[in-house]
A and B are shown apart, each in its own frame.
Chain A
């Protein structure tokens, strides 16, 4: 069964801390997406990756194909990073994404 699990479900940290959010999936994928949703807001695509690592500003996404695991890192976290972060996997041979439950991140000043 195609499944995506995220951890932790909730994460609270202080401004400036290094943040890691994890995403594990069950079988081989074609691509993995990281999305961001601010409270009451829309959903924004942060990264799409199928191997290696991508970086955009203070955000870094990595994926380990052998371990079926991806991480989203935030360096020098800021209260404006407070949001729900969602990973979604496009499994090989499938046309539809499977979404994780999301990680609610709160960064306190």
Chain B
């Protein structure tokens, strides 16, 4: 158990509303990642962080922003949610190269 929790685990929202997903870790790992998982696409990297205030884009970053003001928290924000952002979002950390995932956050945008 790498001590990763995601919140909320489930959320239904309407198009155009802002949404923030939170990833919290208890072990002070440097690298944290946000992925989305969709049928037919597998896991795709949205953004990642390699330290406090150090973030970079992944392959599907449009429409998403992130922030990491503390080592333990990595926030993913959808400024104005769209139906195409309906997905399951996974946070992950890297510890000595090994990956540990959160339980996922299922977001539905109506």
A-side interface residues toward B, CB under 8 Å? 31, 33, 35, 41-45, 48, 86, 88, 90, 95-97, 99-102
Known pairs A43-B90, A97-B45; A48 contacts B98 (CB<8 A): yes
B7, chain A: closest CB distance, angstroms: 14
Residue pair A101, B97 in contact (C-beta under 8 Å): no
Known: A96-B48, A96-B58. A35 touches B104 (CB 8 A): no
**CB-CB nearest in chain A for B44:** A99
A89 to B44, CA, bound (A): 13
Q: How far is the CB of A47 from chain B (nearest CB, A)?
A: 9
Interface residue ranges, B against A (CB under 8 Å):
40-45, 48, 50, 56, 58-59, 90, 92, 97-104
Please list 7 pairs of residues, one from A and one from B, whose beta carbons are closer than 8 Å in the complex, sorted by A's number.
A44-B101, A45-B101, A95-B50, A96-B58, A96-B59, A101-B42, A102-B42
Name A's interface SS: strand
B interface: dominant SS: strand
Taken together as a complex, chains A and B put the C-alpha atoms of A100 and B45 apart, in Å, by 13
A50 to B49, CA, bound (A): 24
The answer to whether A42 touches B42 (Cβ under 8 A) is: no
Chain B residues with CB below 8 A from A43, complex form = 43, 90, 92, 101, 104
Give bound CA distance, A99 to B38, whole Å.
13
User: Across the interface, do B104 and A96 meet the contact criterion of CB distance under 8 Å?
Assistant: no
What distance in Å separates the Cβ of B5 from its nearest Cβ neighbour in chain A?
A: 11
In the assembled complex, the Cα of A86 lies from the Cα of B101 at a distance in Å of: 13
In the bound complex, CA of A47 to CA of B102 (Å): 17
Q: Which of A31, A45, A48 has the most CB of B within 10 A?
A: A45
Nearest-neighbor residue (CB-CB) of A101 within chain B: B42
Residues of A within 8 A of B50 (CB): 95
Instruction: Tell me, in angstroms, the Cα distance from A48 to B44 when the chains sit together.
Output: 19
